[in-house]
Every structure is written in structure tokens, then in C-alpha cells.
Structure 1
Amino acid sequence: MNLAKLLTTILFTIVLGGCTAENVRQSALLQYDKQIDGIIGQMTLDEKINMLHAKHMFVSAGVERLGIADMIYADGPFGIREEMQPDGWMPLGWETDKATFFPTGSALAATWSPELAYAYGTGMAREARLRGKDMILGPAINIQRIPTGGRTYEYLSEDPFLSSRLSVGYTKGVQDNGAAACLKHYALNNQENNRGTVNVIVGERAMREIYLPPFQAAVEEADAYGVMAAYNKVNGWWCAENDILLNKILRDEWGFAGLVISDWNGTHSTVDAITNGLNIEMPTKRFLGDALLDSVKAGLVSEEIINQRVREILRVRLAIKPIPADEANKEVTSQPAQQQIAYDVASKSIVLLKNEGVLPLDLSKKQVFAVIGANAEQTLGLGGMGAGVKTLYEVTPLEGLRNKIGDRAEIVYAKGYEPVVFSFADMFRKKTPEEIEKEARETEAVAEKLTKEAVEVASKADLVLFVGGNDRAVETEGSDRKDMQLPSGQDDLIQAIAAVNPNIVTVLVSGAPNDLNVVQPLSKALLISWFNGTEGGNALADVLVGNISPSGRLPFTLPIKLEDSPAYALGNYPQGKKGADIFADLVSETEKVEKSEDNAPDEKLNDDPNTAIYSEESLVGYRWFDTKNIPVMYPFGYGLTYTNFEYSDLKTDKDRYGKNDVITVSFELKNTGSAAADEVVQAYIHRINPSVEWPYKELKAFSRVPLNPGESKTVSLEIPVKNLQYWDETLQRWNDDFCNIELLVGSSAGDIKLKKEVTLK
């Protein structure tokens, strides 16, 4: 589609169709409306306005006079943030606020388990309530559009179906356990560079089919109570004042009845924001405080709109029982039950990409294992910009190996490389050429020393466990990575190690894709262990020594090179120069970090850094690589185990299906190896003779199936035909594309085992 047609398409000013009063879901929050009528009737205008903005950094006001408690928010999506000063970022230094660090989003997605997502939400809610929190600012469920995204580790997947199933599980887990979930960041926050200024230009079909489904599923199926508006614009409107997104789609179509909160400093107006669907401005009251009160008095905003926004807040407030301050923070946040959940997720998230027979580790004779790499001993609960977790404890890979191996092998550690360290001050200060040159010399000297030590240790070992990857300083909120390269010279280091000891097992501790062109051929085994939380080291060690078989699957595609991925291949990303970050500016105002004018955005760039055109449309992730027939390093859904599985006898309950039918796919799955393991079976749809354009195939069902050695099981997967619809931009509704389809069942997007053709009629 050319740019002119795309821009025409996305200006969706037509009244949205396909949504009538009869088919809008009824939220459980509506049960409080009669009670709310009485509350609003007693409130003054000042009290109403006071509920529509921040009271403190993570608190918005209730109405003490009427017994309405303040709303207290918990940051962020993978662990409850430590207690801070009410209106700043300085920690209070408590002991009771040490929380469980849960595996981050991409790790959760690698489990391909809605059940574990539910348990994850349960654990988060339990710890939030121990701390007196009402709403968790999570899950973070934006689509991983670019491999270099700064929050890829925090988001779930490149695929909307996988993301949707996990989003529903997480949200239900939170809200079934007494806290409210706040879905973020709505919508199309798919890059960190210039996120506070960028205008996303996206076709409506791609928006509906790729970027909105996780939000829609969590609202319609899990009745999410909260949504956080993203920083960016979508098709010319800030997300925090986007009538299409907040009112017409979220509320009118999906039946959302809860509150919409701005991202921190993500509000841009008074009249448009309150009218177009924003409930609460955080963490200030610049627009929805006195300015809003004046707008009501001037007749620019009706009190009816104010009442509606207050009603939406009160619905959530009445659904979530407040925790009295004297009952909160009475015990340490992190508890054994939650630590077990963290372990369960971590142990089932680890992805085995390659194994030439060296795993599980042979502990039958006492060998010398050289553990090399700073990530072997680096903790990841904190680091970088954005939400972190002050953990009660965090088991590193080195500690986990020592725990699980004991005296059955000798472990010798070498740091190998100096990890990247995040400096908030450096974001606002431009270094002099002399400083840069001095740092470069010092870095080179340190690298030479650490490499020499690592090579010496490796040369005396039976096997090298190289633990590399990224960290929370490399993958961080507020900025995207410039490339996928392993940081800190890790490629050079592993080549030096391989020259003296080719027996290498590589573990990548990363939340996002890395370039594997150097490490993959040099490794006898290769795993991704993610930013895997409090119990990550124990989980990794259990996989390495064979206590459990690896069962994680890639939630994204690992390309051969970055330039193969769609946004890069089409020149859609990056757009111009990165400017200052909106959240960094907020924190710097609080912490008094001195800024440098040299780091201000360049207004004279030829490329507009504030426009992101999604011309790849629906071809995101594996959809692009499959449709364009571009080879990849490892495909979406890929992962090995310590056994083998055999697929056979694919059947469907019918050969022809109508629009209201459900396709039931069944087949036999057998564990033909000697280890117990889980297989993640995946069903994709390929349309043979469609009437509209489609990606080559799309994920539409999956299941995690545990099997003992020699065990067989009949696996059934269901695909509702209504889930195969497309968004018709002309009719402004979901529409059917009846055609012949091929059902593709396999272990990844790149390994299809069974096929069968059926007809949609």
C-alpha cells in the first residue's frame, strides 16, 4: 500500500460500526452504579475534580468526608516497587518492602502458558495487597514490533494471539486476588525512542488485528479495571486524549467500565483529555486540576462529563477493598508462595536453542566447569530507567549452579567482561572528547585484563559455561538499543575462549533478541534464560544439570540480522535522532539532575523523528519473515527439550465450517525419548484462496503438553471461526473471508509437522 493510500485509510473518521448495545459486554463494575449515584449526589465540584489528578506520585485522591479511600498504585508489572517519598523517587529505606522479582514479560511469554500467567498475576496481587496497593500498573502488553525495543523485555510477544492469552491470564490472576490490573500502554507504544513525541501512523486493519487484540482480550474476557494511556500519538491524537481509542473502541465497543490513567507526564490538554476519555492525570494536576475546574465554570466542559469520569473511578474504588494504612506493610512483601511462582515461571521459560549432546551436564565424574561472564553474578531486579524491584533475594546463575551442582564438579569463575552500567546523569550530560578518549582507553585496558583471565580459566576447564547477554542497563525504558549486538565485547571474548576450549555452553541472559552470528557456531549448546527473577539462577541450573527438561519457546523471531526485520527493512525505524525522554525529564525534575543543551532534540533533521509510519501493516514478526520468505536464525515458537516428540494422525471434526462453528483439531503426540518433558504444540492458519491480503500464516491455537518417556496423548485444539475474521475498513466492522484454509500443526512457526485442508463457508 502506498503512503497516500495508507494515510487515507488511517484517517478513520467514519463512525465505528459493528457495535450495538445488544452485543457490548457488561462489566461487573456496573453493579456499583446505583450506589455511585448516591455518592456523586453528595459530592461538591471541587471534590470531583480532586479525584481526577494525582495526590502524590503514586496516589490519586478519594473523598475522605464520604469514606472514599485514596487510590494507591503499584509500579510495576514484574514486581512491587519499593516504597518511596510521597512526591519523589528517593526510597524510604524500609525492610518490609523487599519484594519478589518475577521473571519479566518476555520470560513469561516464553512459557506459552496462560495458567502460569494466571499464577503470576496471583503472586503480584498478593504482594501488592500486603503493601496496601489497590492497582498494579501492569501487565505491559504492547506488541514487540522491533527487536531493539527498550521494553521488549517487559512486553510479551510479537504475536497478538499469544500476547492475548497471557494478558487474560495475568489480569484474571490479579483481579481474582483483590487488586486491580492496569493494562499498559494503550496503545501502539512500540518504541522507546521519542515515545513522548512520536506520532504513530497505522492502518486501521493492522491496528485492530495486531496491536489491539491483547488489550481487547483482557478487557472483554478478564474485565480489566484499569488502562494506562500511552505517551505517543496515534494517527495525530495523543493517546491520553484519543476519542477513537478511549471512547469509541475501549468503552463503546469493548464495554470497558473502569478508569483510564495517564502515563506519568503523558497528559497534554484539559478539555480534550477529559472529554475524550482520560480519568486521572498522573503524577501532577497541571491539566486536570484548577484548569479543569475553570473549564467547567466557563462552560467548556459539562459537569455531566465530570460525573461520568468520577463514576468510572468510583466503580474501581468500590470493587477493590482499600487496605487500611495500619494493616499494610506488616510483613516482608516477598513470601515463599510467590517465590515458588517465580521459580515455576522461570523454570518453564528457558529456551534451549541448540544442543550438540553436551546438555544436560555430565556430573558422573568430577569435571572442572569454567563459568565465564559478568551476567553469571549480576543481579537484574534493578538497573536502567523505569520500574525495578528491591528484591528480598535474587539467585544469580553462578549461585544457582553452585546450589545445584555442589561438590559434583569444580566451578571456577571469571568475570570475562565489564557489564554496561546505567547512569541517569549521563542522559543529560554530554561528555567532552577528552573524557570519551580517556574512557575508551580505560575500557580497552580492562577488557584486555578480563579477557586474559577468562582465557586462562577456560584453558584449564573441561567445559565452559559462558553467561552473557544484555542487562537492565542495555535494555531500558526510555531508549531503544542501537543494534542487537552483544554488549561489552562479548563476541570477541567468546572467540578468544573458543581458541583454547571449544567445549562451550552459552547462556544468554537477555530479554530481547541478540545477534547470534558469532556465538551460535562457537557454542555446543545455546540457551536463553531471560531476566528471570528472584529464582532465575536456580531454574537455570535445574535445566543445565537435567533436573528438568527445558520447555520454553521463543515469543519472538530471532532474525539473522537486524536489517531483515520489517520496520528496519522498510526504513520505518529508526526515525531521525533520539530526543530527550519524557519520563527521564520527569525524574530529573524531581532529582535535580543538571541537563545539557547539547542533548536537546535537533529540530533541523531531514528525517522526522516524531513520525513512525507502520507501512509493514500486519506483517509483524514471523508474519513478515514467512510471507517474504526471509530465512531466520531461529523461528517464532522455537525451543528444544532433552527428548523428542512424534506428531501423527491429524484430524478435524468436520471438513466444512460455518461462521459460528469451532474448528476442533486433534492429533497424536508421543514422547519418543528418555526424558519427561513438555511440548508446546502450535496451530497456525494458512489461507489458500482468500479474497483479501493475509500473512502467510498466523498462530491461532497452542497448548503446553507434558509427557513422560514413551507416553502418548491425543491433543485437541479449538479454533473458533469468528477468530479468523479481518477488520473491514470499508464496512468498519469485523468481516468473514470464507475460503479454503490449511491447518498447520507443529512445534514452531518454522517446523510444521502436520497439515490438513478444510473449508470455511
Structure 2
Amino acid sequence: MTLDPPPGPAGLVGALDLPAKVSLLTGAGMFTLAAEESIGLAALRLSDGPTGVRGLRFSGGRTAALLPNATLLASSWSEEVAAEAGGLLAEEARARSVHVVLGPTVNLHRSVLGGRLFEAYSEDPYLTGRLAAAYVRGLQEQGVGACLKHLVANESETDRHTVDSVVDEATLREVYLLPFEIAVADADPWTVMAAYNRVNGVACTEHDALLNGVVKGEWGWAGLVVSDWWATRTTAPSANGGLDLVMPGPVGPWGDALVAAVTAGEVAEDVVDDHLRRLLRLARRVGALGPPREGSREDPPAPDSAVRRGQLTRLAAQGMTVLRNERGTLPLSRGATVALVGRHAAETVDMGGGSAQVTPPYQVSVAEGLTALLGPAVTVVDGVEVRSRPVPARFGSVLHPGTGGPGVQATLLRADGAVVEERHAAAASTVVGVDDDLPEPAELVRLRARVPQGGRLQLGALGVGRWELRVAGREVARFELRLTGSDVGEAVLRPPARTVDADVADGDLVAATVDLRGAPGPGRDGRTTGAGLFGLVARPATRDPAEVLREAAGAARAADVAVVVVGLTEEQETESADKTTIALPGGQDDLVRAVAAAARRTVVVVNAATPVLMPWRDEVDAVLWAGLPGQEGGHAVAAALLGDIEPAGRLVTTFPAADGAAPAWSVTPVEGRLVYGEGPFLGHRGHHAGRAPAPAFWFGAGLGYATWDYADARVVPGPDVPGVAVTVTNTGDRPSREVVQVYLHPADPRQPVRLAGWSAVTAGPGESVPVEVATDARMWRRWDADAGGWARLPVSGRLLVARGLGDVRATLALDDGG
């Protein structure tokens, strides 16, 4: 890899004294880096971004386009899709003067219990690395930096700040470092994020062997290593261990402490200089050092523009995956009457929880999307309760009392009632004391909104502090909410909540006021009181489940087809918490069975980013896995159900048949250690080797809307390793996209099967297409721990040509002459 020359005029680093150098190596704020006028360095701006460019505030910033989640994008098995997503985010970043987008997430789906898997592409390191490289190229071609995260073995959330991931060296190299290696080699991301956890006893933010030895040394990477937020624990060990930038700031473990460590000889000044050179290289690449980068020649499409609506609908729908389709139930006929059932139909979950959240201009439900295409042929019926924790009022369900627009009026106050700041919180929640710049601390927060449609409602609030809740001026509740654990990040990512049921008239004003004094939260110094996320809860009260099931069955019986939308919520798919089961929450399984027993035909749409159990799958006619589809989610699901856009996705995660029926399951550390005992046999690799029962659905599975024949498969020589040639024929009655997958099954039983290449083709009905699939030499090697290097696998064993690992269409023998 060729390193860039030093950014700007020679001697930039030498022009600064030690305190000035060090001051640039900790953030200036939550998402900003300090400027240094003396060398022409402007302030850099970073933003969370796997599914949208939120900007410099955790909440309350500008609206941003909300993309489909990473697993849904990855289900297209398309580098073009990944690059398009990166390019879209780059356009949004440039419009917001953001220099670095914190993504993509390239951790793997090791255990399906991982709460944050929705941000990551897949369980497979090769698929993940290829897609990540394309995403990086899409971002950086427009001068916006990408940030690979989270290095490394950061596949679960339980005790994430302290957990020690115990991984043998071969598995670490062959599996968990591989997507980082591929993305670095193929796309040269400008930053990489060091994770919270430890690896084999050493914190990732000070892991010299990984950061200096592998990433900067063996890979020859010239970029910047940034810490995850508040992840850095030490001064000299992290500075010497390869970390370049501590976030957030301005307070942190470096600063004066790092200056003192250099003065004491614990850290060489050359080490600080290298960190700064890398920072300045990044600044030059993104246009914050030297001549400013050119602005966009024209403004990008607005998040709610027709261009974005069409683009985001297509990106979501084409990644959706047909898992079952009996009797040609899908696509739906436009002449059919439809009973649309389920809480997820009306309250479709379009994004996961935590730092991946953005404020979109709107979110389209499946009910809205299907009704827009079929009109009165659709009857919408509510489903069973799907949540155990309250969430802020859904967009549009409450209105600002002054403007009448969606959201709440959030007023930040002093204890004497003087106003500190007024906000319009479209998401019905706001973050205080974390990333805002208030003239003085807020001691009270008042949330006010009108409820356009009254009735028996569940009202309440979330956020740490002492609350008072009023409706139309009358007090309905007082309560105090406290953190449930020692992690102050809970105040933002999973704040406590409480609700009461109350009768509310149309247009009533609901007001919730919280006293922040004495409430802990994650302020800028990690100790500030009164900081966190605060929100207003307002939604229909929970109904009797038996009544809901009777109503759903009645609607299904009266329609030509029933569509039941089930899924997970941000309680399960979120940063900061893992799942304990992959069963659907609430009584959703009962709802599906009640509908299936009554309906002529039943389609189930699964609104979840990660695997769920489907004990009813043989009782329904069709299953469409829809992921977390972003702001156009309802339009995308409707387009997929009707076949306007083919849902040609392929699974990126193996769906276990039962809880625990997977090669890796537990995400709970034992005495602080989480042992990756399955080694390289995670996911489909372990199932294929017989280390776990046969799954419900295999990695790579997906039916699309056509059937396919494979013929004339053969091994073909490649420049380094062999590939495969095969002819595929669309035997269906619609144009369709096929993903031809090639897996290497080594002869050595200690080596797992692995995806080695894939290629996608589109063909019309009856059309035959020749396909060649190259395999990647990086998948034909193993790590020799004794020799400390890579060893080539022999050309032996078999190549499997498949429509998913559970549908192998050809098995090709290999030998050393192949």
C-alpha cells in the first residue's frame, strides 16, 4: 500500500509544541475535533451513520434519510447496492458538512442473540468484507471518510465495556479480522474504530499487537484509529498501543496526562507525532486541511424528495427475502381483498435502537404502503402487544401544541422556571446534557403535545428523574425513574420508563415535566447529573389478547388473503442490550396461528433484522423477511408483496430452528470472559459440519419470484485459485435475479466450509445464462499459529455450487491438479 505524502507543507507537525499536538488528539466535543489555525487545520465533524447521517447531535438535529438496515442491504448480495448506499450517505454528509461517517459496521453475526447485529452485514467474513469495501468506496469517492467498526471481536452487547473476548489466534485471523483486512486491502478506509471490549486480556484501544502489529504494520495501513466513545481507559498504554484519537472530548485520559507521560519518558514524542500525522492525513483527505474541498455542484436530493423515496424503496424491497411461497401465493394479485393484521403493520419498525437512530422526515408503515396501492381492498386490524417497554410516541401520533407539526414541544428550564432553551422534538424525545451547548445547565425538562385522536391511552414518560404527568391540566401521575445498572450510557440508550392508562379526549394537551436535579447521566465528563434522553409516551392502551385474536381471525376469514406482519422492536434490536431468545415477543405466534386457521391463504411478513423462530411456518403459505426497511418501509413491503419490485434477497444469517440450536449461542461473559469456543465454525459453517442441528433456513437461502435450473457446472482455472462455470436457466414465468454461490469445502475436517465467491445474474422466463464465479485466494488459506503466518490450503476437497448452503445444485471434486 502506498502511503500519502505528509499533508500540507513540510514541518506541520514540527510547527506545534507538545501540548498543541496532544490537544488535537482528543475530540473537542461529542462529534467534533479541534481546529488549529496556525497550521490551517479546520475543525473536523464526525457523525454516526450506518443507516443515516444523524449529524453532530444525538437527537433533535436535521432530518436525515433513513436507509434500510445493514442486514437488509447486505441481503441483496450486491456490491453495487453497498456502494450506492455509501454514495447516498456521502451526499447527505456533504450537505451537513460532515467529514467522517462512522460506518460500516463489520462485526459478524456470531450469536443471533447479539442486540446490535442489525448494524452489521452478516455472519460471513468474506461477504461482509466485500460489501464493506464497496460501501467504503461509495463514501470516500465523494471525499467523505469511512470508519470501519468495531475492531475487533465485538459481536455482543452484554458487559460490552468490560468483556474480554477470548479468541484463538487462527480464528481471530481467519474470521473476525478478515472483513477488516478485506476492506482495508480493497478500499483503504480512512479511519478504523477500536472497540470497547478486550481481546485475550488486552483492551482494544491499547492492543499493540492488533493496532500496531497487524493493522498498521502487516497491512501497511496509513489511516487513523479512533476510539469508540468513552472506550479509552489509559494514557500511556493506549498511546503506545496504536490508538490515534480519543473520543469524545474535550475531557479524556490524554490531554495533560499524555503530555506528562511524554515528559516522563513513558511515551516517545515520535509516537505522538505519528498519531498527529495520521490525523492530518485524514484532515487533508476530507478537505479540512489545506485548500477547502469543492462543495457539491448542486444540492443533493432532500430526504423526503421523490428521488430519495424511489431510491430507498428500491434498496429496501430488492433485499427482502422470500423464505416460503406455497401455491404461488406471492406476489399478491391486485384484485384480491387483503386483511392486514398485526401491530407491526400499523407501527412498522424501520430502524434499530441506539446510536444508529436518526430523525427521518417520516416513516411509512406497511398499512400506509399497502393501502396506497390497493385502496379499500385492504382492511387493517391491530395485533397483539409487541412491547414490554414503553417508547416515545410514534411520529405523527402527537402534535406540537404551537405549530401543530408532528412531535412535542421540549422546554429546558432552570429550577425557578426561567427558560434555558426551546426545542421542537419531532421524535417525541430529546437528549439533554450530552451533545448540546446550553448557556447554563437545565434543571427541568417539560414535554408538551396535543393528542389528535383520544380514547383510552397509555401515557407516560421515559428518562431519569422525578416526573409529573398531566392531561388537560389535571395531574394523572407522579413517579421517579432511576437507572437500573451501573452503566450511565443507559440514560441515553435504554432510559427507564413508566406509563399509566388514562382517558384522553381528542385534542387534549399532555404535559410531562421531569426534575433532573440529582439524576445521574452520561455528560461530557462521564459524571454530569441530569443528562440523558427524555421522551413522552402516548399510544393506545393494551387490549385483551383474546379479543384481538377473535377480531384478526374474523377479518382473515372475510378476505381473499391475510397478511400478518410480525417482528421485533428496538427492545431486542438495539445497542447496549442483547436478546435472551429469538422467539417473537408477546403473543405474535398465537396471532399467526389464529389467522392461518381462519384465512384462505396466509402471508407472514417478518419485520426484523435478525433471525426469529417461526413455529408456524408450515401452517402458512408464504413468508417474506423484510428486515428494518427504513423510512420507505411500508412502500417497500407493498412493492415486494405485489411484485412491483422482486424481493430477490438471500439470507445473510442462518436461522436456527430453536433457541440454543446454533454453533455459538451465549453472549453472557463468565467471570468477565466470553470464550469464542466454536472457533471458525460459526453460523452456517458449524451447521454444515454437524456441530449444531439443521437450521430452519440456511445462510444464502432465498426464493425470489422464479425457479431456476443449474446445468453444466465445472471447475475452471483461475489466475491463483480455481473458479466455477455454470449455466442457469430461469424456469419461472417472471424475470428474476439469481445469486450463484460457490463454497469451498476443504478436505481437512479441521477447516470449515466457507463462502469463496458469488455472482448475480438476471434472466427472463425461459432464458439461460452462462455464469462464471471467481473464488478469492484469501479464502484458500489458513493461519499457521506455529509459523506466525498464512499457509495455502491444498486444492483438494470440493466446490459447492448452491442457491444457499441448504440447496446445493452441484458438487465439484478438487485435486491438486485442479
Relative to the length of structure 1, the TM-score reads: 0.84
1:686 to 735, 738, 745: 745
Mapping of 1:717-756 within 5 angstroms? 717-721=773-777, 723-756=779-812
Judge which range, 331-340 or 505-514, deviates more.
331-340
Check conservation: 2:31, 2:56, Cα contact below 8 A. no
Report how far residue 279 of structure 1 moved. Answer: 1.1
CA distance in 1, matches of 2:673, 2:235: 24
Match of 1:375 in 2: 344
Q: 2:238 maps to which residue?
A: 273
Distance change (3 Å), C-alpha of 1:566 and 1:411:
same
Note the alpha carbon deviations across 1:66-90, whole angstroms, 9 max, x for none.
2101111011211011552xxxx45
1:391 is the counterpart of 2:381 = no
Aligned pair 1:110/2:83, yes or no? no
Cα distance, 1:492–1:360 mapped onto 2, change above 3 Å: closer
- Deviation string 1:487-522 (CA, Å, 9 cap, x unpaired) is 1210122222233325210000001100111x3122
Partner Cα separation in structure 2 for residue 61 and residue 381 of structure 1: 35
Please tell me whether the aligned partners of residues 741 and 760 of structure 1 are also in contact (alpha carbons under 8 angstroms). no
Cα distance in 2 for residues equivalent to 1:230 and 1:680: 33
Matches within 5 A, 1:352-363: 352-363=322-333
**Is the CA contact 2:46–2:56 (under 8 Å) kept in the aligned structure 1?**
no
Instruction: Quote the residue 2:255 is aligned against.
Output: 289
Indicate which of 252, 269, 282 corresponds to 1:303: 269
- Letter of the structure 2 residue corresponding to residue 478 of structure 1: S
Match in the other structure for 2:123:
158
CA shift at 1:99, angstroms? 1.3
Are the equivalent residues in 2 in contact too, given 1:138–1:184 (CA < 8 A)?
yes
For the residues of structure 2 that align with 1:633 and 1:664, how far apart are their CA atoms?
29
TM-superposition CA deviations, 1:413-432 (whole Å, max 9, x none): 112122324456578249xx
SS of 1:49's partner is: helix
2:638 aligned to 541, 545, 554, which one? 541
Alignment of 1:243-262 (within 5 A): 243-262=208-227
Q: Could you tell me how far apart the structure 2 residues matched to 1:472 and 1:230 are?
A: 22
CA change 1:362–1:152 in 2 (3 A) is closer
User: Partner residue of 2:11?
Assistant: 38
1:703 partner letter: S
- How far the C-alpha of 1:459 sits from its partner, in A, is 3.1
Q: Is the 8 A contact 2:330 2:642 kept in 1?
A: yes
Contact 2:757/2:776 (CA < 8 Å) preserved in 1? no
- CA distances 1:235-276 after superposition (whole Å, capped 9, x unpaired): 001101101111111000111111111111100100011111
Aligned match of 2:42: 69
Q: Structure 1: which 5+ residue stretches go unaligned?
A: 1-24, 577-606
Q: Deviation of residue 338 (structure 1)?
A: 4.5
Distance 1:302 1:332 in 2: 48
- Residue 434 of structure 2 corresponds to which residue in structure 1? none
- Secondary structure at 2:122's aligned position in 1? coil
In structure 2, relative to structure 1, the CA distance for the partners of 1:694 and 1:427 (3 Å cut) is farther
Distance 1:756 1:325, change over 3 A: closer
Q: Which residue of 2 aligns with 1:649?
A: 712
CA spacing shift, 1:336–1:179, aligned 2, 3 Å: farther
Structure 2 CA distance for partners of 1:47 and 1:337, relative to 1, 3 Å: farther
Deviation at 1:298, TM superposition (A): 2.2
Partner of 2:428: none
Give the whole-Å Cα distance in 2 for the aligned partners of 1:230 and 1:188. Answer: 8
Is 1:404 the equivalent of 2:373?
yes
Q: What count of residue pairs does the alignment treat as equivalent? A: 675
Question: Within 5 A, what are the aligned runs for 1:412-561?
Answer: 412-420=379-387, 421-422=390-391, 425=464, 428-429=483-484, 445-501=543-599, 503-517=601-615, 519-561=616-658
Name the one with the larger strand percent.
2
Q: CA deviation at 1:64?
A: 2.1
Q: Can you list the C-alpha shifts for 1:96-128, whole angstroms capped at 9, x where unaligned? A: x21111111111111100111011111111101
Q: Residue 781 of structure 2 contacts residue 792 of structure 2 at CA under 8 Å; is this kept in 1?
A: yes
SS in 2 for 1:39: coil
Structure 1 residues 326 and 252, CA gap change in structure 2 (3 angstroms): closer
Alignment counterpart, residue 754 of structure 2, candidates 680, 690, 698: 698
> Do 2:800 and 2:808's aligned partners in 1 also have CA atoms closer than 8 Å?
yes
Aligned AA (2:675): I
Partner of 1:565: 662
- In structure 2, the gaps of 5 or more residues are 392-461, 465-480, 486-497, 503-539
For 1:325 and 1:726, the matched residues in 2 are separated by 43
Counterparts in 2 of 1:117-266, with a 5 A limit?
117-266=82-231
- State, as a whole percentage, how many aligned pairs show the same letter: 33
- Cα offsets for 1:697-753 (capped at 9, x unmatched): 211011111111111111001124453010100101000232522111010101111
Aligned to 2:23: 50
Report how far residue 564 of structure 1 moved: 1.1
Does 2:685 align with 1:623?
A: yes
Assess if the C-alpha contact under 8 Å between 2:47 and 2:56 holds in 1: no
CA distance in 1, matches of 2:348, 2:243: 37
Shift of 1:575: 2.7
Deviation of 1:325 after TM superposition, in Å, equals 13
Change in CA separation of 1:721 and 1:90 when aligned onto 2, cut-off 3 Å: closer
CA offset at residue 539 of structure 1?
Answer: 2.1
Q: 1:662 aligns with which of 713, 721, 743?
A: 721
Out of 43-52 and 742-751, give the one that drifted further. Answer: 43-52
Residue 346, structure 1, aligned to residue 346, structure 2 = no
Q: What is the CA–CA distance in structure 2 between the aligned matches of 1:83 and 1:271, rounded to whole Å?
A: 29
CA RMSD of aligned residues (A): 2.6
1: CA distance, partners of 2:783 / 2:798? 21
Question: Alpha carbons of 1:464 and 1:661: their partners in 2 closer, same or farther (altered >3 Å)?
Answer: same
Q: TM-score, normalised by structure 2?
A: 0.79
Q: How far is 1:321 from its partner?
A: 1.4
Report if aligned partners of 1:36, 1:315 keep a CA contact under 8 Å in 2.
no
The farther-off stretch of 64-73 and 377-386 is 377-386
- Aligned residue identity for 2:655: L
Output the CA distance in 1 between the equivalents of 2:266 and 2:218: 27
Aligned-partner Cα distance in 2 for 1:177–1:184: 20
1-side partners of 2:109 and 2:777: how far apart? Answer: 26
Question: SS at 1:662's partner residue?
Answer: coil
**Alpha carbons of structure 1 residues 233 and 448: separation in structure 2 relative to 1, 3 Å:** same
Q: Deviations over 1:159-216 (max 9, x none)?
A: 1111111011101111011100000011110111111110011011111111111111
Distance in 2 (CA, whole Å) between partners of 1:258 and 1:460 is 61
Conserved 8 A contact 1:400-1:541 = yes
Amino acid of the structure 1 residue aligned with 2:708: F
Query: Which stretch shifts more, 224-233 or 42-51?
Result: 42-51
Per-residue deviation at 1:337?
4.5
Question: Structure 1 residues 338 and 237, CA, compared in 2 at 3 Å: closer, same or farther?
Answer: farther
Tell me how far apart the structure 2 counterparts of residues 360 and 424 of structure 1 sit (CA, whole Å): 44
1:314 aligns with 2:369: no
Equivalent AA in structure 2 for residue 547 of structure 1: D
Q: Partner of 2:252: helix, strand, or coil? A: coil
